[in-house]
């Protein structure tokens, strides 16, 4: 008796599915056991369908042996609630000017509303997420940023990754809001891109991924720049006309992370479903990849 065989179309489809999985194998091997910091921007998170796919992506990372750490922003949401309180939002080089009232709003919105929303979403997607801010467990110690002085805007002076490592070792996914306290316990508003880069450095992450409401870094001709080196990024920042607003702290943070040993920074369109999985597990890179510059000997530093 011969074994029943499937019709040819079904066989082809089944094999194609298997091929996709097999093609992901080298990427899974490459990323296994590594820390990947994923920063999700506020604008990206406004879209509910994307959010579900984001939970699926984080779940896949987790089950592929990656240790994901999520950091979130919330620019549009902080602005909206500030306006409800009659506070006007203003920015200098893409960083929010933060007076006492705005700091209260940022703390409520970031460490309260948005953190709870993201953790809830991930939990609903079977990802064991735990929300914390830079204040919890002394994760990120800040001081008031002096240059320029933007009020209660903090810069990170130290990362104590112990709390995050402990969570990750037990299989939890930390979700970090970008509020950090100084040595006296006073809270500061930290730009979320800066927080993500500092955590990536402190956790010796392999990759830092910025999920944005744009496809990546847009160049002078209006086209997507798919690959940049550190010097290219510095040149774009120095140019003064190509990069503005929230892209300034993002590129500055990317450069800092790459110089401190993070091997890749990716900027991708968080509005595109499964962009994270596409970036990590397929040969088709999406968005912009920033890499360390090669040294004269040809080696990455």
Ligand X SMILES: Nc1ncnc2c1ncn2[C@@H]1O[C@H](COP(=O)(O)OP(=O)(O)OP(=O)(O)O)[C@@H](O)[C@H]1O
Instruction: Centre a 10 Å sphere on the Cβ of residue 206 and count the other Cβ atoms it contains.
Output: 19
CA distance 195 to 44: 18
Among 121, 168, 214, 228, binds ligand X (CB under 6 A): 214
Among 46, 244, 294, 300, binds ligand X (CB under 6 A): 244
- Give residues 66-125 in contact with ligand X (rule: CB under 6 A): 73-75, 94
- Segment interacting with ligand X, rule: CB under 6 A, options 16-24, 79-87, 114-122, 246-254: 246-254
Shorter beta-carbon distance to Mg ion: residue 175 or 248 = 248
193: contact with ligand X by CB under 6 A? yes
Among 212, 268, 279, 280, binds ligand X (CB under 6 A): 212
242: contact with ligand X by CB under 6 A? yes
- Segment interacting with Mg ion, rule: CB under 5 A, options 64-72, 130-138, 220-228, 241-249: 241-249
CA distance 30 to 240: 37
Given the DSSP bridges, would you call strands 91-92 and 187-189 parallel, antiparallel or unpaired? unpaired
Among 87, 123, 218, 272, binds ligand X (CB under 6 A): 218
CA distance 102 to 112: 14
246: contact with Mg ion by CB under 5 A? yes
3-state helix, strand, coil in the chain (%, to 5): 45, 20, 35
174: contact with ligand X by CB under 6 A? no
Burial class (CB in 10 A: 0-12, 13-18, 19+), 175: buried
Residue 89 is given by DSSP the state P
Output the CA angle 102-213-113, nearest 5 degrees.
40
Shorter beta-carbon distance to Mg ion: residue 43 or 66 = 43
Binding residues for Mg ion, rule: CB under 5 A, are: 246
């Amino acid at each position: 008796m011969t074994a029943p065989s499937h019709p040819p179309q079904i066989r082809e489809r089944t094999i194609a599915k298997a091929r996709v999985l097999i093609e992901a194998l080298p990427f899974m091997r490459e990323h296994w056991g590594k820390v990947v910091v994923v920063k999700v921007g506020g604008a990206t998170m406004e879209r509910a369908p994307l959010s579900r796919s984001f939970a699926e992506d984080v779940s896949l990372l987790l089950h592929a042996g990656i240790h994901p750490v999520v950091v979130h922003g919330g620019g549009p949401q902080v602005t909206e609630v500030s306006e409800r309180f009659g506070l006007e939002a203003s920015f200098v080089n893409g960083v929010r000017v933060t007076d006492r009232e705005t700091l209260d709003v940022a703390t409520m919105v970031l460490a309260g509303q948005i953190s709870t929303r993201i953790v809830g979403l991930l939990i609903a997607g079977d990802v064991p997420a735990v929300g914390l801010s830079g204040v919890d467990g002394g994760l990120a110690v800040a001081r008031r940023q002096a240059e320029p002085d933007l009020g209660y805007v903090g810069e990170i002076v130290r990362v104590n990754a112990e709390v995050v490592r402990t969570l990750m070792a037990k299989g939890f996914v930390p979700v970090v809001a970008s509020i950090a306290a100084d040595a006296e316990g006073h809270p500061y508003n930290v730009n979320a891109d800066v927080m993500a880069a500092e955590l990536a450095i402190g956790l010796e992450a392999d990759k830092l991924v910025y999920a944005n409401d744009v496809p990546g870094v847009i160049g002078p001709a209006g086209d997507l720049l798919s690959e940049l080196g550190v010097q290219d990024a510095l040149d774009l920042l120095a140019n003064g006309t190509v990069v503005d607003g929230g892209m300034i702290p993002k590129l500055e943070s990317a450069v800092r992370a790459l110089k401190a040993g993070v091997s890749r920074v990716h900027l991708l369109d968080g509005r595109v479903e499964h962009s994270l999985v596409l970036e990590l597990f397929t040969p088709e890179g999406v968005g912009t990849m920033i890499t360390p510059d090669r040294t004269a000997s040809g080696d990455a530093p």
